[in-house]
Amino acid sequence: MSFPRYPKYKPSGVEWLGEVPEHWAVAPLCARAAERRSRNEGMQEDNLLSLSYGNIVRKDIASNDGLLPESFETYQIVEPGDTVLRLTDLQNDQRSIRTGVVRERGIITSAYLAIRPVSIDADYLSLLLRAYDSQKAFYSMGSGLRQSMKYDDLKRLPLLVPQPAEQRAIAAFLDRETAKIDALIAEQEKLSELLAEKRQAVISHAVTKGLNPAAPMKPSGVEWLGDVPAHWDLVRLGYRGSLQNGLSIGGDAFGAGDPFVSYGDVYKNAVLPEVPSGLVLSTSQDQDKYSVEVGDVLFTRTSETTDDIGVASTCLRTIPRATFAGFLIRFRPHREVLVAQYAVYLFRNQAVARHFAGTMNIVTRASLSQGELRSLPICVPPPGEQRTIAEFLDRELAKFDALIEEAESAVALLVERRSALISAAVTGQIDVRNAVPETAA
């Protein structure tokens, strides 16, 4: 879809905005919007609001959804028509939407900046500021690159101000068009989720049932395993190898020295990177005790939640002189028990994570002990069958990964298209005054 440009343009006087439609005004934000400074003293309000994906939504004040303070007296009261901005962590979260318009009176955290529009449409202002954010206009405000800003940093920001009717027309147009794009994004994100679920189901079936549907089965005695092939060896992990917690060392030892496998190296990768992310000043004794060899499987052992416990990464190539973090446990299989490529899939099975979640008690942090890991039930096919399963999964999962990458690329393009459309409309690069909904055309 293409749109015309305005008949005449003029210099905006702002380098990063360039030319704007001739009849548009340029004014500082402080001339068109004032900071809202109504604190919730005495708990005047209990309608808790939050900024979520560009919308101001209600939150249940009595729920445990997210971190909530003991008192909401430090929160600010906002009114319908206020524009809310999240002006923290500016250089990250580029996919997030930092602005939204309040539709009902309520309270919102003082970490947000709430402003009251004056002689400017709230929806248009929110979209204009969203476009400025995508253009990284906030980065250069204040003193250099900023991770956060306040109203005083923002009040001289030049705003582009069309006539009121034109502001409303631009906002209505973008509301219609971005809704269409958002629907397409939701479809692709749902597809990506379904593909990921199917991918995981293929792994789970292969490492618990095998590839031969006609193979005789036997009860495993383990609820989450169910029946398993009769010729597979069903044992506790501790009988098939040794366990070792990682290296604990002072912080001043990091940043130089020999390779160091971090918690993130394991958590983010089913296959351990050949070049770990860290360096540590370790001794030869450390490197012997905490070595990382082909076939080793490293498990995350501590986190804030059970979801991040027992996440595994398998080493497919020995890392010379490497050690690994104290927040990890190394499982080293006995010789010729586990094929490394098969272990990649065996231990990245979601059922394993659910097993760990059901075995631990959380006090302040979730923690996986060697005893819990040692008691993990595993199914071990003969080595030749392990290789066959690993090769099958390599082929099948490559297909899923290609489809997931395609869906994620589509989402990225749609997000970019939405951002470009908003920016073009609110900065006057396209004229949408005569754009009408398709149903009315």
385 bridge partner residues: none
Q: What is the dihedral sign for C-alpha 265, 198, 357, 392?
A: negative
Contacts of 104 (CB under 8 A, 6+ apart): 47, 49, 80
Pull the structure tokens for residue 147.
């991770």
Full set of structural domains in the chain with CATH: 25-161 (3.90.220.20), 211-380 (3.90.220.20)
Encode pLDDT of 74-106 as tens digits.
888 999 999 998 877 666 555 567 889 999 998
H-only helix segments in 241-302: 263-267, 284-289
- Residues (pLDDT < 70) of the chain are 1, 42, 61-70, 89-96, 139-148, 357-365, 436-441
Residue 441 pLDDT: 44
Residue 436 pLDDT: 65
Q: Are 288 and 246 in contact (CB under 8 A)?
A: no
- What letter does residue 414 receive in the DSSP assignment? H
Contacts of 61 (CB under 8 A, 6+ apart): 46, 48, 68, 72
Residue 59 pLDDT: 82
Q: How many CB atoms lie within 10 A of CB 325?
A: 24
CA dist 332 and 13 (Å) reads 66
Of residues 419, 303, 307, 284, the one with CA closest to residue 366: 303
Residue 181 pLDDT: 95
SS3 200: helix
DSSP secondary structure, 109-132, as one string: -TTSEEEEESSS-HHHHHHHHHHH
Q: Are 30 and 118 in contact (CB under 8 A)?
A: no
Residue 367 pLDDT: 80
Encode pLDDT of 335-365 as tens digits.
888 999 999 999 988 777 777 766 655 544 6
CA dist 376 and 115 (Å) reads 55
Residue type, 262: S
Residue 386 pLDDT: 96
DSSP secondary structure, 309-334, as one string: SS-EEE-SS-BTT-EEBTTEEEEEEP
Residue 364 pLDDT: 45
